[in-house]
């Protein structure tokens, strides 16, 4: 069996092994940065969320009407003048939805951030330190776990007249961190016994460094999903509070719209345009956040990441489908051997 | 001897295009019916890649860039495994070629009983089989590998390491495949258990008549148990010969190095020598013979040209081949 030596030498240049990674690096770094966006789910979620953020910022300026201003067209279905129709007072529903975006997004993200920071601080600390600190912090999160969040919010907001969005976000954030803290504590307990954490401890790394460089990267997916979950929860809580009329109805959010729609029997009147836009807005926001969550999951876990890229380009321009369990065979130039195939087991016997 | 599996010019890469790492290059190997073929080499020499490549089990980014793997069934015409469709490949696996995986001890699912795991494959490959005969076959298989059939209802954690290993071997044999690939199946076991299991394997092979490709880095084990040994280095086969021939008279300096690194039980005392250096980086292979930077006998042609695997001009005419410039292939011979 002879092998054409020259062609093999072309494939393997006589350079040292160090030369190759050097030349590959610039392209690789660039691709790594946009890897997250190459994930279809994450990109879709981010685009939808981006639209919401933009609307939250510029919404109040681009509303075609003052959302509270009364008009003469009462309970009108959608038209060119009023895209989402009007309410029983002739208010423009489209303007109300736009105006309401800001409050919803603000409360959702502020509460999500507060809850995530608290859950990471308490959960990871409890899990990593163990002992008395763990007992105390676990007891604390257990207490918060059994506090019914929505009734508590109802009580607090009804005591405080005209609770602002910030206050509502604070209350939601401060009451909804405990589930994530528990999850993070459990995960940290498992991670801190892994060999690489033990090794880091044995080499004398400082606790903060172990937590930030060894533990947190492994917790990214849990933290991110906790954040997204809390944002959805906070949005729904704020809308619930507004819907049942607890928070002040001077400002607009999607819950306020639903409050008025409910109060004026929009469904009974057949005025679907009154509550459908706000409901869809909530649903799309939830969808976007969930998609981002899936994207983060795939991005953070190297195994899911490589599984996502199934089609690759070969040097000759063809595509190869990578699948686990069926290694692709490239360009078999040898002439077909035979067309014989494995026989069914019964036939052989 | 009749071949059962012929590997022709198999090339396996990791990755595509310029960045591809050539993990297995131009491997030609024939497994004969009923023989134990040992595949030895250091870590990273391509042994496992070869085994998973020829069964198309490599995970991405592994790709097969060329070659043929011709399988000869007992009673029907031969075919190329690399050309099978997905469903044909599914039918081929396990029924014709089974694998006992590396770290097989941990390959059993801890939450299912042994019986469930043994009969699962029967359910998939022979759906017409009755529940009763499935269980009967599983019991028989356990008996064959030396485990009392009353352990059928045991969970993996209730078995010792050696027993789990035997269950894995029994599972691989349950469809009576012609070829069994064993990828370091005894690495995690102590030497007594290794010997016991391998002895049993040889016995089973004589009884059931399958062929074995045995992958290990433990050459001493192969010398004892295999008929032929192929030594891999840097993704290529550098020497292939009957086990006793390799043991007594290895031609390739790398094979000699491997053989020189473990003590003999009998015979005069000798100094044990390792192989200096470390295995080559597959991404940046040295030119010429990939072993030449570590080879104690390297001379001029070694760094320039890749030696061809072929039959050296030995006087006794034994069936062996080597890829080394010290033993050039006579002109005209392949």
A10 touches chain B (CB under 8 A): no
B22-36: average pLDDT? 90
> A-chain residues within 8 Å CB-CB of B19?
24
pLDDT digits (tens, 9 = 90+) for B201-233: 888 888 888 999 999 888 888 888 889 999 999
* Residues B184 and B88 placed together within one structural domain of the fold: yes
Query: Structure pTM?
Result: 0.68
Nearest to A20 among B8, B76, B284 (CB): B284
Per-residue pLDDT band at B36 (split at 50, 70, 90): very high
pLDDT at residue B266 in the model: 76
- Describe the strand order of the beta sheet including B179-183 as a list of residue ranges: B97-100, B179-183, B211-216, B36-40, B228-233, B236-242, B321-322
pLDDT at residue B119 in the model: 92
B128-146: average pLDDT? 91
Q: Residue A335 pLDDT > 70, yes or no?
A: no
> B-chain residues within 8 Å CB-CB of A16?
284
Q: Identify which of A321-325, A332-336, B122-126 has the greatest average pLDDT.
A: B122-126
Q: Give the three-state DSSP class for A4.
A: coil
Q: What domains, with CATH codes, occur in chain A? A: 35-307 (1.10.3720.10)
* Residue B238: partners with Cβ closer than 8 Å, 6 or more residues away: B231, B232, B252, B254, B255, B291, B309, B322, B323, B324
Q: Residue A197 pLDDT > 60, yes or no?
A: yes
Q: Give the three-state DSSP class for A15.
A: coil
pLDDT at residue B316 in the model: 56
Q: Residue B293 pLDDT > 90, yes or no?
A: no
Tokens of A205: 């790394």
Query: Could you give the CA distance from residue B117 to residue B120 in angstroms, rounded to a whole number?
Result: 5
Q: Which of A16-30, A307-321, B46-60, B244-258 has the lowest mean pLDDT?
A: A16-30
A110-142: burial string, b at 16+ Cβ within 10 Å, e else: bbbbbbbebbbebbbbbbbbeeeebeebbeebe
| Cβ-contact A266, A275 below 8 angstroms | yes
Q: Which of B17, B28, B80 to mutate to test the interface with A (most CBs of A within 10 A)?
A: B80
| B271 or A240, greater pLDDT | A240
* Residues B164 and B185 placed together within one structural domain of the fold: no
Nearest to A330 by CA among B97, B58, B213: B58
Q: Which of B5-9, B308-312, B327-331 has the lowest mean pLDDT?
A: B327-331
Considering Cα of A160, then A164, then A167, then A172, what sign does the dihedral take?
Answer: positive
Query: Could you give the CA distance from residue B1 to residue B3 in angstroms, rounded to a whole number?
Result: 6
| Cβ-contact A340, B79 below 8 angstroms | yes
Query: Could you give the CA distance from residue A90 to residue B273 in angstroms, rounded to a whole number?
Result: 95
CA R_g for chain B: 21
* Residues B91 and B212 placed together within one structural domain of the fold: yes
Query: Could you give the CA distance from residue B16 to residue A233 in angstroms, rounded to a whole number?
Result: 45
Per-residue pLDDT band at B248 (split at 50, 70, 90): confident
Per-residue pLDDT band at A303 (split at 50, 70, 90): low
pLDDT at residue A131 in the model: 87
> Does residue B223 belong to any structural domain of this protein?
yes
* Residues B12 and B131 placed together within one structural domain of the fold: no
pLDDT digits (tens, 9 = 90+) for A111-161: 999 999 999 999 998 988 888 988 999 999 999 888 887 788 788 877 877
> A-chain residues within 8 Å CB-CB of B134?
none
Domain boundary among the residues B155, B176, B197 is at B176
| Cβ-contact A149, A172 below 8 angstroms | yes
Q: Which residue of A has its CA nearest to B71?
A: A342
Look-up: residue for tokens 């131009």? Answer: B26
* Residues B72 and B111 placed together within one structural domain of the fold: no
* Residue B321: partners with Cβ closer than 8 Å, 6 or more residues away: B239, B240, B241, B309, B310, B311, B312
* Residues B44 and B159 placed together within one structural domain of the fold: no
pLDDT digits (tens, 9 = 90+) for A200-238: 989 988 888 998 888 888 888 888 888 988 898 888 888
E-strand stretches of B73-168:
79-80, 97-100
pLDDT at residue B212 in the model: 93
* Residues B17 and B111 placed together within one structural domain of the fold: no
Which long-range CB contacts under 8 A does A81-86 form with residues at least 24 apart? A84/A273, A84/A277, A85/A271, A85/A273, A85/A274
Domain that holds residue B31: 1-96+179-267
> B-chain residues within 8 Å CB-CB of A326?
56, 86, 89
Q: Residue A242 pLDDT > 70, yes or no?
A: yes
Query: Could you give the CA distance from residue A246 to residue A242 in angstroms, rounded to a whole number?
Result: 6
* Residues B43 and B82 placed together within one structural domain of the fold: yes
A72 touches chain B (CB under 8 A): no
| CATH assignment at residue B253 | 3.40.50.300
**Which A-chain residues 290-349 have CB contacts (< 8 A) with chain B?**
306-307, 312-315, 320, 322-334, 336-346, 348
Per-residue pLDDT band at A71 (split at 50, 70, 90): confident
Domain boundary among the residues B176, B204, B231 is at B176
A26 touches chain B (CB under 8 A): no
> Does residue B295 belong to any structural domain of this protein?
no
Supply the DSSP symbol for A329.
B
pLDDT at residue A18 in the model: 37
Question: Which residues does residue B5 pair with via DSSP β-bridges, in sequence order?
Answer: B31, B71
> Does residue B134 belong to any structural domain of this protein?
yes
| A276 or A8, greater pLDDT | A276
B6-33: average pLDDT? 88
Q: Residue A304 pLDDT > 80, yes or no?
A: no
Q: Residue B101 pLDDT > 90, yes or no?
A: no
Query: Could you give the CA distance from residue A159 to residue A171 in angstroms, rounded to a whole number?
Result: 13
> B-chain residues within 8 Å CB-CB of A302?
none
Per-residue pLDDT band at A267 (split at 50, 70, 90): confident
| Cβ-contact A55, A101 below 8 angstroms | yes
| Cβ-contact B233, B217 below 8 angstroms | no
> Does residue B305 belong to any structural domain of this protein?
no
CB atoms near residue B97 (< 10 Å): 24
B88-117: average pLDDT? 86
Strand B236-242 versus strand B321-322 pairing type: antiparallel
| Cβ-contact A116, A225 below 8 angstroms | no
> A-chain residues within 8 Å CB-CB of B80?
336-338
B165-183: average pLDDT? 90
Q: Do B58 and A327 touch (CB under 8 A)?
A: yes
| Cβ-contact B222, B229 below 8 angstroms | yes
pLDDT at residue B222 in the model: 87
Q: Do A3 and B26 touch (CB under 8 A)?
A: yes
Torsion of CA B261, B266, B270, B272, to 10 degrees: 10
Q: How many domains does chain B have?
A: 2
Query: Could you give the CA distance from residue B44 to residue B281 in angstroms, rounded to a whole number?
Result: 8
> Does residue B26 belong to any structural domain of this protein?
yes
* Residues B71 and B118 placed together within one structural domain of the fold: no
> Does residue B115 belong to any structural domain of this protein?
yes
- Residue count of chain B: 334
B310-324: average pLDDT? 72
* Residues B159 and B60 placed together within one structural domain of the fold: no
pLDDT at residue A309 in the model: 56
pLDDT at residue B179 in the model: 93
Supply the DSSP symbol for A92.
B
Domain boundary among the residues B267, B285, B311 is at B267
Q: Residue A110 pLDDT > 90, yes or no?
A: yes
Q: Do A2 and B58 touch (CB under 8 A)?
A: no
Q: How far is CA A191 from CA A108, A194, A240, B311, in A?
A: 30, 5, 37, 55
State the DSSP string of A189-232. HHHTTSHHHHHHHHTT--HHHIIIIIIHHHHHHHHHHHHHHHHH
Tokens of A327: 């290694």
Tokens of A152: 């508590």
Q: Do B83 and A345 touch (CB under 8 A)?
A: no
* Residues B3 and B141 placed together within one structural domain of the fold: no
pLDDT digits (tens, 9 = 90+) for B46-74: 888 999 888 898 887 888 988 889 999 88
* Residues B113 and B246 placed together within one structural domain of the fold: no
- Describe the strand order of the beta sheet including B62-71 as a list of residue ranges: B21-32, B3-14, B62-71, B79-80
Per-residue pLDDT band at A316 (split at 50, 70, 90): low
pLDDT at residue A10 in the model: 40
Q: Residue A292 pLDDT > 80, yes or no?
A: yes
Tokens of B120: 């699962």
Query: Could you give the CA distance from residue B250 to residue B233 in angstroms, rounded to a whole number?
Result: 15
Q: Residue A15 pLDDT > 50, yes or no?
A: no
Q: Do A8 and B88 touch (CB under 8 A)?
A: no
| Cβ-contact A300, A293 below 8 angstroms | no
Report whether the peptide linkage leading into residue A99 is cis, meaning its omega lies within 30 degrees of zero. no
Torsion of CA A66, A71, A76, A77, to 10 degrees: -20
Q: Do B64 and A328 touch (CB under 8 A)?
A: yes
Which residue stretches of chain A are H helix?
5-11, 19-33, 35-38, 40-62, 93-129, 131-146, 149-159, 165-175, 178-191, 195-202, 207-209, 216-243, 254-263, 266-269, 272-300, 302-308, 345-348
* Residue B24: partners with Cβ closer than 8 Å, 6 or more residues away: B10, B11, B12, B46, B49, B50, B53, B235
Nearest to A76 by CA among A272, A292, A316: A272
A15 touches chain B (CB under 8 A): yes
Query: Could you give the CA distance from residue B107 to residue B170 in angstroms, rounded to a whole number?
Result: 13
> Does residue B303 belong to any structural domain of this protein?
no
Tokens of A21: 């990674």
Share of chain A above pLDDT 70, in %: 76
Q: What is the mean pLDDT of chain A?
A: 76
Nearest to B281 by CA among B21, B99, B1: B21
A148 touches chain B (CB under 8 A): no
> Does residue B190 belong to any structural domain of this protein?
yes
């Amino acid at each position: 069996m002879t092998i054409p030596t020259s062609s093999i030498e072309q494939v393997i240049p006589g350079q040292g092994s160090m030369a190759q990674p050097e030349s590959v690096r610039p392209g690789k770094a660039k691709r790594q940065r946009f890897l997250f966006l190459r994930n279809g789910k994450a990109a879709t979620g981010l685009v939808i969320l981006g639209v919401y953020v933009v609307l939250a910022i510029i919404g109040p300026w681009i509303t075609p009407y003052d959302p509270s201003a009364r008009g003469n067209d009462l309970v009108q279905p959608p038209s060119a003048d009023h895209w989402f129709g009007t309410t029983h007072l002739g208010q423009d529903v489209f303007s109300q939805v736009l105006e309401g975006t800001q409050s919803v997004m603000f409360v959702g993200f502020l509460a999500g951030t507060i809850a995530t920071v608290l859950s990471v601080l308490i959960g990871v600390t409890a899990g990593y330190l163990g002992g008395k600190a763990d007992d105390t912090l676990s007891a604390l999160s257990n207490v918060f776990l059994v506090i019914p969040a929505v009734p508590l919010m109802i009580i607090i907001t009804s005591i405080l007249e005209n609770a602002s969005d910030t206050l509502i976000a604070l209350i939601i954030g401060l009451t909804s961190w405990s589930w994530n803290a528990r999850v993070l504590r459990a995960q940290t307990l498992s991670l801190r016994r892994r060999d690489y954490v033990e090794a880091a401890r044995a080499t004398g790394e400082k606790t903060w460094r172990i937590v930030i460089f060894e533990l947190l990267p492994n917790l990214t997916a849990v933290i991110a999903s906790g954040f997204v979950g809390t944002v959805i929860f906070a949005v729904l809580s704020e809308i619930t509070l507004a819907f049942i009329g607890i928070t002040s109805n001077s400002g607009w959010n999607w819950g306020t719209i639903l409050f008025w729609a409910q109060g004026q029997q929009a469904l009974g009147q057949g005025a679907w345009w009154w509550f459908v836009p706000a409901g869809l807005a909530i649903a799309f926001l939830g969808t976007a956040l969930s998609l981002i969550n899936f994207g983060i999951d795939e991005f953070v876990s190297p195994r899911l990441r490589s599984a996502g890229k199934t089609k690759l380009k070969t040097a000759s321009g063809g595509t190869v489908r990578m699948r686990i369990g069926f290694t692709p065979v490239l360009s078999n130039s040898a002439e077909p051997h035979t067309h014989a195939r494995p026989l069914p087991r019964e036939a052989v016997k | 001897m009749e071949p059962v599996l012929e590997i022709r010019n198999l090339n396996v890469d990791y990755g595509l295009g310029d960045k591809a790492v050539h993990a297995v290059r131009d491997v030609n190997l024939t497994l004969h019916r009923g023989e134990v073929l040992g595949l030895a080499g250091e870590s990273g020499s391509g042994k496992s890649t070869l085994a998973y490549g020829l069964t198309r089990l490599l995970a991405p980014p592994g790709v097969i860039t060329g070659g043929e793997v011709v399988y000869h069934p007992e009673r029907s015409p031969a075919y190329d495994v690399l050309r099978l469709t997905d469903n044909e490949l599914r039918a081929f696996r396990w029924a014709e070629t089974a694998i006992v995986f590396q770290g097989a001890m941990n390959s059993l699912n801890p939450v299912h009983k042994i019986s469930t795991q043994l009969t699962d494959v029967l359910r998939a490959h022979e759906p017409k089989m009755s529940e009763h005969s499935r269980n009967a076959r599983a019991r028989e298989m356990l008996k064959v590998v030396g485990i009392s059939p009353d352990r059928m209802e045991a969970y993996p954690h209730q078995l010792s390491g050696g027993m789990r290993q035997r269950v894995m071997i029994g599972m691989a044999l349950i469809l009576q495949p012609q070829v069994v690939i064993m990828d370091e199946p005894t690495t995690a076991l102590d030497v007594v258990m290794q010997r016991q299991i391998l002895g049993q394997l040889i016995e089973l092979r004589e009884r059931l008549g399958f062929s074995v490709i045995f992958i290990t880095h433990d050459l001493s084990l192969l010398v004892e148990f295999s008929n032929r040994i192929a030594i891999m280095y840097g993704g290529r086969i550098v020497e292939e010969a009957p086990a006793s021939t390799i043991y007594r008279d290895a031609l390739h300096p790398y094979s000699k190095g491997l053989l020189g690194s473990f003590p003999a039980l009998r015979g005069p005392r000798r100094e044990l020598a390792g192989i200096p250096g470390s295995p080559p980086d597959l991404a940046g292979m040295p030119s010429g013979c990939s072993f030449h930077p570590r080879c104690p006998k390297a001379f001029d042609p070694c760094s320039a040209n890749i030696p061809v695997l072929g039959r050296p001009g030995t006087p006794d005419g034994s069936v062996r081949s080597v890829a080394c410039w010290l033993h050039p292939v006579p002109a005209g011979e392949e």
